[in-house]
Amino acid sequence: MLIAAARIITASGAVPGAASVLAPGYLTCADGTITSVGAGLPPGRPDVRLSDGVLLPGFVDLQVNGYFGVELADSDAAGWATVARRLPETGTTAFLPTFVTSPLDAMITSLLRAAGTVPDLAVPHARVLGIHLEGPFISASRAGAHNPAWAISPDPASIDALLTAGSGLVRLVTLAPELDGAMSAVKQLVRAGVLVSVGHSDATAHQVSAAAMCGVTMVTHLFNAQRPMHHREPGVVGQALSDTRLVSSLIADLHHVSGQVAAITFGAAPGRICLVTDAAACAGMPAGRYLLGGEPIELTEDDGTPPARPDGTLAGSTLRMDSAVANMVAAGVGLAEAVVAATRIPADLIGRRDLGRIEPAAAADLTWLNDSLRTTATWIAGRQVFGPALG
């Protein structure tokens, strides 16, 4: 297949945060893989011609609790299929289903269920890249929308039980490094090939730095449910922005973090910010009551306002990844930089260098946004899975 486009953002390149813009440009793909990319007019008659908008790599979202009425941690196979089939409507072609803090036995049950479901999800479904466990090893004082009664300190047996239940699916664990046993837990998880992130944490900057020494490489939803930056104690936020070992995820809905602060964040940590949705079951749904972590949340408006717990605590979001990119552009971040934060940076974080870029040998996972940065069409492995018939 030969695709010609008015603009292509490749999100490729050796420089962190850099992205090539081809205007116009083209690509070819075969057997689900990109075979060539070029600037200018295509070398032949295109199978697909995109005369406006911008062609990007498919979005990679590392934090999806649920979507379209489905809470993934508590769903059956049909619910998982619904989410994975419909996420390409938002431009997302790969994601990490996320399980928030629950009693340990409940998290093990969720992992066992997922392990029996994920292998059956293939194109046209978005790629399931593993599972993100956002807890239960978190600080009760920084629980946010998580139930603090279920927060526990890590120990080797609990970690082994979670990893065994996941059958290799556990790909990312968010924990609080100040907890007893946390540094040993980080080393245990890293040895098992799991990405470890600081989150829901009251850690000092020194404790976050020590965690990075042990193998932590990420901070979960920067600014939210963590010790903030103070001019005498940088906290989680200050260490995340200044420590080049760390990449921070950002919920770019303009509610969890203001546009002005988001722009400052991109400026302070270029090439080290990745966009996530933290979407809950209410995403893509009308106002109403839903679940997160098995407990109620309420969406009062369907205008992008996040859902909340009964006490008003923000609880996930209704964000789309294409909207996340558009929001960052509106905040003053360059389009190419915002695209890289939603594609290559998260893909690289979890070791999937075949995703999140448009370059030879990468997967032909593509998203075409219109001039308003809304998803018009999506391809996974070279197969169009969303949008009008093209060509």
Q: What are phi and psi of 307, to 5 degrees?
A: -70, 165
Start-to-end C-alpha separation, the chain? 10
User: What is the amino acid identity at position 3?
Assistant: I
Catalytic annotation, pick one of 74, 278, 322, 365: 278
Full DSSP string of 332-354: T--HHHHHHHHTHHHHHHTT-TT
Cα separation, 308 vs 301, in Å, equals 11
Cα separation, 176 vs 2, in Å, equals 47
Q: How far, CA to CA in Å, does 300 sit from each of 304, 313, 317?
A: 10, 13, 12
| Bridge pairing between strands 127-128 and 131-134 | unpaired
- 């901070």: which residue's tokens? 219
- Which tokens belong to 169? 């699916």
Give the closest residue to 178 by CA, choosing from 224, 147, 142.
142
- Which tokens belong to 368? 């075409």
Residues with Cβ within 8 Å of residue 386, at least 6 apart in sequence:
88, 89, 375, 377, 378
Residue 31 known to be catalytic? no
The catalytic residue positions are: 278
